[in-house]
Chains A and B, each alone.
Chain A
Amino acid sequence: MNEQLLSVILTIITASTPLLLAAIGELVVERSGVLNLGVEGMMAVGAVSGFGAALLTGNPYVGVLAALFAGALLSLLFGFLTLTMVSNQVATGLALTLLGLGTAGLMGEAFVGQPGVHLERLHVPGLSDIPFIGPILFGQDLMVYLSFAIVAGVSYLLFRSKAGLIIRAVGDSHQSAHALGYSVVGVRYLCVMFGGACSGLAGGYLSLAYTPQWVENMTAGRGWIALALVVFSSWLPWRIVVGAYLFGTITVMGFSLQAYGIGIPSQLLSALPYVVTILVLVLISRNRALMRANTPACLGQPFVPDR
């Protein structure tokens, strides 16, 4: 029984990590007032770049870096279009998804059917061998720890530092921030690139750790779930962890229940993560004051300085 519970928990962690990585990046982007719907596309490019770099060098950590930079690079294009050229963010984001998925497919043609390089789980002598807790706390791969570190970092940055104050000011009232002398476009560029890097990492996690291989469409809609999780979290970093792990847990529990042969219709179990996410979202949104306080007021609005 313990063995089974352990395997379920380990599965939940791998299922939740890509969602967590992509969502925390997008949270920062949205906090700065930019809506980038291209998460799915950036994840795909991150996945293929990470896979390719790891395969060519034989080193999964090079793959992780490649995924990060590939995601950031693609987001730079989004930044140029929406921030410098002031194009519509929703349309540009959707286009970025298509571009990303297409580019990834093209880049990855040579990698299809190639076994990849695994990002191994860490092994801390002694600690990782503690029954049950050891593998969970000390036996994950690097990116799982990284995902939590990023959440902690973002939480600190946004709410405990001056930089965070500026980011939130830019997201809440870009005209005021501009009047105070902050570079709205500059701040947004940095946030967009951070988001891109996180999406790239999430993609890299898929192709290096989750299912070490490259196949087209391997992101399978996870970018969209990440976008939903940002709203779910009401733009608060630690709630992203709750959302991502809730989603992962219900997905994996659904499979477990099926395998036990409990006669719940599988279609219902497949829909359950979405249903529960929506339900919790509705419950959270009932607190209107909180929602209003956290929703970046300038989200999705183009910024053109008036002088």
Chain B
Amino acid sequence: MKKWMALAAALALGVSAGAANAADKLKACWVYVGPVGDFGYSYQHDLGRKAVEKALGDKVETAFLENVAEGPDAERAIERFAREGCKIIFTTSFGFMDPTIKVAAKYPDIKFEHATGYKKADNVAIYNARFYEGRYVMGQIAAKMSKTGTAGYIVSFPIPEVVMGINAFMLGAQSVNPDFKVKIIWVNSWYDPGKEADAAKVLLGQGADIMVQHTDSTAPLQEAEKAGKLGFGQSSDMIKFAPKSQLTSNTDDWDPYYIARVQAVLDGTWKSEDTWGGMKDGMVVLPPFTNMPDDVKKMAEDSVAKIKSGEFHPFTGPITKQDGTTVGEAGKPLPDGELLGMNYYIKGVDDKLPQ
């Protein structure tokens, strides 16, 4: 039945996307994995789209498809945009990688941009944010603020992006408290507020007093607030949902990147590139540190400053894996390729990585 629904939804979405059409404007299009109203990941991407509209005015028109399932549906959605005359198409989820590459091969004149993946082509650029930088700082804060020495961590799928986040968080936490523990629950969904809330309740019930999430809804943080515990937001600043609980939030800001890329197409200077921006580039932003004493705030701000200046890299070798082996050269950051393919936990993570 779900399949039927997805199919029907794809058809309906397709129809609604076909509505607008203007002749000489550049058409820029976005494909989102969640609804723009998720107040998380897709919401932030859509803010970027709106920023493009605002910055480039009547030179562009934009369109988007939301709720596109990863897999074959995505291919249909992307191809639809390609046929409708989009000149640049942003596909914003890891699972859109292969569909994007496939469609791009058929439409060499259209520029494609895929977020959080690793496959490039002449007309496919890739971009991502160094979310792990924020997660390292979150780990430090968590270790300072936790009374039980245990954080609850709700995650979606075991892809390198997410594993990297857990490792960065734990490296940060261990830098403060070497015995810090993390309890991990995989909900196998990017976005299911109910399930995320259930997982949060279970974690809080088992003694975790800091809630961390790598899923897209505000539910886990709200549960932390309800239980009088602390937590971190994800993608957006979620302070309104947890005024007494949010410590900070790992926020994405895609606006400058999107504006620059669409401008590049307008100017004819677009090239297939590999962009991985962090705090330094303003792509990863931590909103004000709240609900913590001044010394913890100071430590967090210092870490942010060091990461921004390039003085410190969260993944500085050697890093000990869960199985005891080490990677990386002493004193040097792990190469980006190593990070982007990360498929192991570091030592101290008490969980088995689903394969």
Contact = CB atoms under 8 A, between A and B. Distances in A.
Q: Is the interface of A mostly helix, strand, loop or mixed?
A: helix
B218 A213 contact: yes
Nearest to B196: A211
Interface string B177-209: 000000111111101111111110111111010
Chain A contact-residue range equals: 35 or more
B37 A109 contact: yes
Interface in A256-274: 256, 258-261, 263, 265-267, 270
Interface of A: 3-4, 6-8, 10-11, 14-15, 18, 37, 40, 94-95, 97-98, 101-102, 105, 108-109, 112-115, 206, 210-218, 220-222, 224, 227-228, 251-252, 255-256, 258-261, 263, 265-267, 270
Contacts of B152: 259
Contact of A11 (B183, B191, B202, B218): B202
A206 B222 CA distance: 14
Given A98-B12, A267-B188, 6 more contacts: A3-B205, A14-B201, A216-B37, A255-B185, A260-B206, A261-B183
Nearest to B220: A211
A247 B295 CA distance: 46
Given A258-B184, A263-B352, A213 B35 contact: no
Contact of B195 (A102, A213, A220): A220
Contacts of B66: 216
Given A258-B184, A261-B350, A270-B187, A216 B201 contact: no
A213 B241 contact: yes
Interface string B315-355: 00000000000000000000000000000000000111011
A246 to B, nearest CB: 15
Nearest to A252: B198
A215 B355 CA distance: 31
Given A259-B183, A263-B352, A211 B35 contact: no
A210 B12 contact: no
17 contacts: A3-B205, A6-B205, A94-B4, A114-B240, A115-B240, A206-B194, A210-B193, A215-B39, A216-B66, A220-B193, A228-B1, A255-B198, A255-B199, A259-B183, A259-B208, A261-B350, A263-B352
A98 B13 CA distance: 10
